[in-house]
Chains A and B, each alone.
Chain A
Amino acid sequence: MIVERWINWVTLLAFMVVPLWALVTDEPFTITLATRAAILALAAVGLNIALGIGGLVSLGHAAFFGLGGYAMGILAFHAQNYTPLELGPFTTEGTKSMPVIWLTAIIAAALAGLIIGLLSLRTAGVYFIMITLAFGQMFFYFAISWSAYGGEDGLSIYVRNGFPGLNTLVPIQFFGICFVALCLSLYVHWRLRSSPFGLALNAARQVPQRVETVGLNPYRLKLVAFVISAAITGLAGALFADLNRFVSPAMFSWQLSGELIVLIIIGGVGRLMGPVIGAAIFVALEHWLGGLTDFWHIWLGVILLLIVLFGRGGVVGLLTGKAGPHV
C-alpha cells in the first residue's frame, strides 16, 4: 500500500514536471502530448471505475467520449456561426464557454450511460462486451450520417473555447485545465473506492450472489458505477475535442474503446494510477514509435501481451509486486 502511494505521487509529480520542463525549454509540442495523455487518462479513469472496480468490460465507452466531443462541437459550432441551436420546441444559443460545455457533456454522457447501462447490465460476460460494442457502433454510424454536423468529415472549431480568467490557447494553461480535471477524477475514484458504495461494488464484481444475500442489489450498484464512469469519460471527450479543435465520428470508434481498455490493462486494472500510467506510456509510444514506423501498434501489442502473460496487475502491479483484481 505504501509503495503504491509513492508510485501515485511520483506519477502525478512527473505528469506535472514534464510539461513545465517543456515550457522552460520552449517545446510546446511536448506540452500538447502531455495534454493528450492527461485527457486519455481522464477518459480511462472514468472507464476504470466501471471496469476496475465493477468488473464491467465496456467496449462502448467511445460512445461517451464521442458524446462529450459532440457536445463541445455542436455548442461551439452554433456559437461560431451565430446560428441558433434548435432542440425540438426550444431554441437556444451555442456557447464557447468551457464550463457550460463540460456540464452539457457530463449530463449527456451520464444520460446515455444510464440508458445503455439499464439495457446492457441485464447481460454479463461476453454478451455485455458485445452489447456495449453495439451501442458504441450505433453512435458511430449515427455521427457519420449526421450531415448537419459534418457527417463523416466532422466539425472544425476555429478557436478553442474559453475558460474565465485563462487564455486557453496557451498550451500550458490548457494543460493545467486538463490536469486539474484528471486530478479531480482521481480524487473521485479514490473517494468512491473507499466508500461503502465502492466496497459493495467491488464485492458485486467478485461475488454478486453474496451481495444479494446481504440485501443489496448488484445490478443497481453496477448501473450507478456505469453512469459515473460514463460521465467522466464524457468530460474527457469534451476536453479532447477542445485540444484538437476538431470533432469527428472517429471519437465514437470502437478502436478508441479498445484503446482505453488497453491502456488501463497496461497501467493496472482497478489501480488508482493505472489509467494515468497507461495513458502516459500509450502516448509516449504513439509519439516515439509512431515516428519510427507506421506499425507501432505491433509493439504496443507486444507490451500488452507481456503484461497480460506475466504481470496481471499492469505496471503498477509489477512495481508493487501485487497482482491486480481479476475481471
Chain B
Amino acid sequence: MSDPILATRGLSKSFGALKATDDVSIDLLPGEIHAIIGPNGAGKSTLIEQISGGLRPDAGSVHLMGQDVTHQNTQARAKAGLGRTFQISALAMEDTVLENALLGAIGQSARPWRFWSGVAGDRTLVERAFNALERVGLSDAADERTANLSHGQRRQLEIAVALTLSPKAFVMDEPMAGLGAEGSKFLTGFLDTLRDEAPILLVEHDMDAVFALADRITVLVYGKVIASGTTDDIRRSAEVREAYLGEDA
C-alpha cells in the first residue's frame, strides 16, 4: 500500500459538551477520491476546518505528505500542498474572475512582495491563472466581475482557484452545493479526471455524485466514523442505511 498523501489520526474536537469530531482517523491515498458523508451536524465541516488549519484539534494529528502539520496554520498547509475549496464560495466579489484566479497563482508563486510590476504583465502568473479557468470552463468569463457570476460559475471558480495552487491534495467542501443537474454532471466529470492529478477528500451531500466518484467512503455521524470502506461496502452497510441513506438507497 502506498503512503497516504493526507491523513488524520485520532482527531478530536469538542465545543463544550458537543463532540464535533470524535477520534477520526482517515487516509487519502494517491489517485483516489475519498468521500466523507454524513447527516447535517455530523461534524464534516469541523473536520475540514481541522484538516485545512482553521481549527486546532483538541487531540490527534493531521499529516500531509508524511509531515505532521497539526501545529501549522492555514497558510503553511497551503504552501505544503493543500488545496481547499469552500462550501460557501469565498471569492473576492469586487474583483474579476481572472483576478481571483491570479490570487491563487500569486500564492503559488509565494511572491506577493512585488510592488512595482504589473500583475497583468506577468506571463507566468496570468498563464497559470488562465489555464485553471480554462480547465473549469470559465475562460470566457475571465474579465467578468465575480459578483456577476451565476452560483454555478462561482462554484467552478472556487475550484479554479484551488487548481492554480497545483496542490498535492484537494480538500473540497461540498463543491456541488446548489448546482443544477447540468452543473453537477459537468463537475462530476471534471473531478473524475482530477483525481489523477491529486487525490481529493470530498465532503458532499449529492449522493449521486459521491457514488459515481468515490473510491472509498467514510461515514460520519455525531463526529464519529461509523463506517469506512469501498463504495460497494458502504452501499451494502445496513448501519449506514439506517443512519443516513434512508430505505431506498
Interface residues, chain A, with chain B CB atoms under 8 Å away: 191-192, 194-200, 202-203, 206-207, 209-217, 221, 224, 325-326
Confirm or deny: B208 has a beta carbon within 8 angstroms of a beta carbon on chain A: no
A214 to B74, CA, bound (A): 9
Structural contact, A210 and B111, CB atoms closer than 8 A: no
A212 to B74, CA, bound (A): 6
Given known A-B contacts A196-B119, A214-B108, A203 and B95 have beta carbons under 8 A apart: yes
A195 to B117, CA, bound (A): 5
Residue of A192, A198, A221 contacting most chain B CB atoms (<10 Å): A198
Confirm or deny: B102 has a beta carbon within 8 angstroms of a beta carbon on chain A: yes
Chain B residues in 8 Å Cβ range of A224: 113
- In the complex, the number of residue pairs spanning A and B with C-beta atoms less than 8 Å apart equals 104
A202 to B93, CA, bound (A): 11
Instruction: With both chains docked as a complex, state the minimum distance between the C-beta of A312 and any C-beta of chain B, in angstroms.
Output: 12
Confirm or deny: B103 has a beta carbon within 8 angstroms of a beta carbon on chain A: yes
A209 to B75, CA, bound (A): 10
Confirm or deny: B137 has a beta carbon within 8 angstroms of a beta carbon on chain A: no
Chain B residues in 8 Å Cβ range of A213: 52, 74, 78, 84, 86, 90
Q: List 6 A-B contacts (CB under 8 A).
A: A198-B119, A199-B99, A202-B92, A206-B93, A214-B108, A214-B165
Contact of B75 among A191, A199, A207, A215 (CB under 8 A): A215
CB-nearest residue of chain B to A225: B115
A124 to B109, CA, bound (A): 28
Given known A-B contacts A213-B78, A214-B78, A191 and B106 have beta carbons under 8 A apart: no
Q: Render B147-176 as a binary contact track against A, CB cut-off 8 A, 1 for contact.
A: 000000000000001001100000000000
Instruction: With both chains docked as a complex, state the minimum distance between the C-beta of A191 and any C-beta of chain B, in angstroms.
Output: 5
Chain B residues in 8 Å Cβ range of A210: 86, 90-92, 103, 161
Structural contact, A196 and B125, CB atoms closer than 8 A: yes
A196 to B101, CA, bound (A): 12
Confirm or deny: B15 has a beta carbon within 8 angstroms of a beta carbon on chain A: no
CB-nearest residue of chain A to B146: A206
Confirm or deny: B104 has a beta carbon within 8 angstroms of a beta carbon on chain A: yes
Structural contact, B91 and A215, CB atoms closer than 8 A: no
A291 to B117, CA, bound (A): 46
A114 to B65, CA, bound (A): 37
Tell me the residues in window 54-80 of chain B with beta carbons closer than 8 Å to chain A beta carbons. 54, 73-76, 78-79
| Secondary structure type dominating chain A contacts | helix
Interface residues, chain B, with chain A CB atoms under 8 Å away: 52-54, 73-76, 78-79, 84, 86, 90-95, 99-100, 102-104, 106-120, 122, 125, 161, 164-165
Structural contact, A214 and B95, CB atoms closer than 8 A: no
Structural contact, B75 and A196, CB atoms closer than 8 A: no
Given known A-B contacts A197-B114, A199-B102, A216-B106, A207 and B90 have beta carbons under 8 A apart: yes
Structural contact, B93 and A195, CB atoms closer than 8 A: no
A192 to B116, CA, bound (A): 6
Residue of A194, A196, A207, A326 contacting most chain B CB atoms (<10 Å): A196
Structural contact, A206 and B107, CB atoms closer than 8 A: no
Chain A residues in 8 Å Cβ range of B114: 195-197
Chain A residues in 8 Å Cβ range of B111: 196
A296 to B53, CA, bound (A): 53
A191 to B120, CA, bound (A): 12
Chain A residues in 8 Å Cβ range of B108: 214-215
A14 to B91, CA, bound (A): 38
Structural contact, B103 and A221, CB atoms closer than 8 A: no
Structural contact, A197 and B113, CB atoms closer than 8 A: yes
Contact of A209 among B54, B94, B122 (CB under 8 A): B54
Instruction: With both chains docked as a complex, state the minimum distance between the C-beta of A4 and any C-beta of chain B, in angstroms.
Output: 15
Structural contact, A215 and B107, CB atoms closer than 8 A: yes
A211 to B125, CA, bound (A): 16
Structural contact, A207 and B117, CB atoms closer than 8 A: no
Given known A-B contacts A196-B111, A197-B113, A212 and B119 have beta carbons under 8 A apart: no
A142 to B73, CA, bound (A): 39
Structural contact, B75 and A195, CB atoms closer than 8 A: no
A214 to B79, CA, bound (A): 7
A215 to B114, CA, bound (A): 16
Structural contact, B78 and A206, CB atoms closer than 8 A: no
Structural contact, A209 and B90, CB atoms closer than 8 A: yes
Contact of B115 among A191, A209, A214, A326 (CB under 8 A): A191
Structural contact, A215 and B110, CB atoms closer than 8 A: yes
Given known A-B contacts A210-B161, A216-B107, A221-B112, A195 and B119 have beta carbons under 8 A apart: yes
Chain A residues in 8 Å Cβ range of B73: 212
CB-nearest residue of chain B to A325: B94
A203 to B120, CA, bound (A): 16
